Structure 1
Amino acid sequence: MDAGTAAVLGALAGSVATIGAAMAAGWAQREGARIVARSQHRREMREARHGAYEKFISSMLSLHAQTSIFQGDAEMVPEEMSNESYSQLHQLATSVERNSVAVALAGPKEVTEAALKIARMSVELVGQIGFVQLGTDMSDERQVNRWRWRLSKVIADHAVLFENSLDDFVYLAQAALDDDGSAN
């Protein structure tokens, strides 16, 4: 091999090495940028989720504070409720339902499913409490008492389910907020 060919081959080898190093550096830069972008996205999602979860839990706690008296004991369900008290319960259930939409949009799927289930449960619970008032329109007092006792039992059971769902949601929300995405 003469000196000219060796020089050309040496220059070619140097060029290939330089191109390879440049490609590796470019790949590393892109990968670093992707990691930073993903980290920033996760941070923004966490902040949005935190806010949505916090409002939802707050609305659930407000409704729970008003319905916890019904838990477990059918005797605790009042025979009559003022329109103002029922209206307040209805507004609290509406707040739970409205805040569940923000949670559903924030995700993830497990938290969304739990929030939507709780929203339906809160509306159902308040609706059942409202039905207690309807029993006073019946003419047969024995029928009224049986109907009210059955409904009171259902309300007491649903109040307990609502409280348990509240606890379960808090744990799901904590897990979603703690997820750093490293398992993906």
Structure 2
Amino acid sequence: MDAGTAAVLGALAGSVATVGAALATGWAQREGARIAVRAEHRRERREPRLAAYKEFISVASAFRSESSPYTIPGLIPDDLEDEAADSISEAAAELKRSAMDVALAGPRRVSKDAIRIERLGNHLAISIRLFVHFAPQANAAIDEKLFQRMRRRGVVSLARKVNRAIDTFLLRAQAALDDDGSLGRR
């Protein structure tokens, strides 16, 4: 190979290397910008989620306090008053309002848990209302076995499910807030 051909090939190799380096640098810059935009988006989503989760946890904790006596059959008096049903119904309504904020904030798994808690709370409020309505009275003829079954399966079971669902929500909300997106979608 003569000196001229070597010089041309050397210049061509240098040009190809320069173009390759420029393409690699451009790709790396685009990926870096994409990562930065994704991180900013996650940060912007995290703050409203945190506020919605905190509010929901506060309301769910109040509901748990209101419904805790119903988790133990022996603590439920046979002659519950309408005020007890009204109180748990108000707490369930507040739970519903707060659950909608969480459902909109996402992500999907946390939203499902919040909606589940809201539905269970509503079912519990209805069960307590029915329990109060059908409570055995001196002049009423109601089957005592049916009444006790209503207490165990309707009220106690639902109250326990609400408590477990709130615990699950707490863990899922924490995981959603800790998620940096590096593990992919779940």
Identify the TM-score tier after normalising by the shorter chain: 0.7 to 0.9
**1:127 is matched by which residue type in structure 2?**
I
Deviation at 1:2, TM superposition (A): 6.2
The answer to whether residue 175 in structure 2 is matched with residue 179 in structure 1 is no
**1:175 is matched by which residue type in structure 2?**
A
State the TM-score, normalized to the length of structure 1: 0.83
- Tell me the C-alpha RMSD between the 2 structures: 2.7
Partner-residue secondary structure (3-state), 2:124: helix
Q: 1:21 to 1:121 in 2, by over 3 A?
A: same
CA contact (8 A) 2:135 2:147 kept: no
Q: Map of 1:104-123 to 2, 5 A cutoff? A: 104-123=103-122
Cα distance between partner residues in 1 of 2:94 and 2:14: 69
Instruction: Tell me what 1:130 maps to.
Output: 129
1:141-175 CA-partner distances (Å, limit 9, x unpaired) = 24175554333222122212211211121112122
Cα distance between partner residues in 2 of 1:134 and 1:76: 14
Instruction: Tell me what 2:46 maps to.
Output: 46
Q: Map of 1:70-85 to 2, 5 A cutoff? A: 70-77=70-77, 79-83=79-83, 85=84
Instruction: Tell me what 1:25 maps to.
Output: 25
The answer to whether residue 108 in structure 2 is matched with residue 102 in structure 1 is no
Cα distance between partner residues in 2 of 1:77 and 1:51: 38
Q: 1:50 to 1:41 in 2, by over 3 A?
A: same
**1:167 is matched by which residue type in structure 2?**
D
Instruction: Tell me what 2:56 maps to.
Output: 56
Deviation at 1:6, TM superposition (A): 5.0
Mind listing any 5+ residue stretches in structure 1 that lack a counterpart?
none
Cα distance between partner residues in 2 of 1:182 and 1:137: 58
* Bigger RCO (CA 8 Å, 6+ sep): 1
User: Which deviates more from structure 2 when the two are superposed, residues 149-158 or residues 165-174?
Assistant: 149-158
CA contact (8 A) 2:82 2:129 kept: no
Partner-residue secondary structure (3-state), 2:180: coil
Cα distance between partner residues in 1 of 2:135 and 2:100: 36
Identity of aligned residues (%): 40
1:94-115 CA-partner distances (Å, limit 9, x unpaired) = 2212222222233333222222
Partner-residue secondary structure (3-state), 1:159: helix
How many residues of Structure 1 are paired with residues of Structure 2 in the alignment? 183
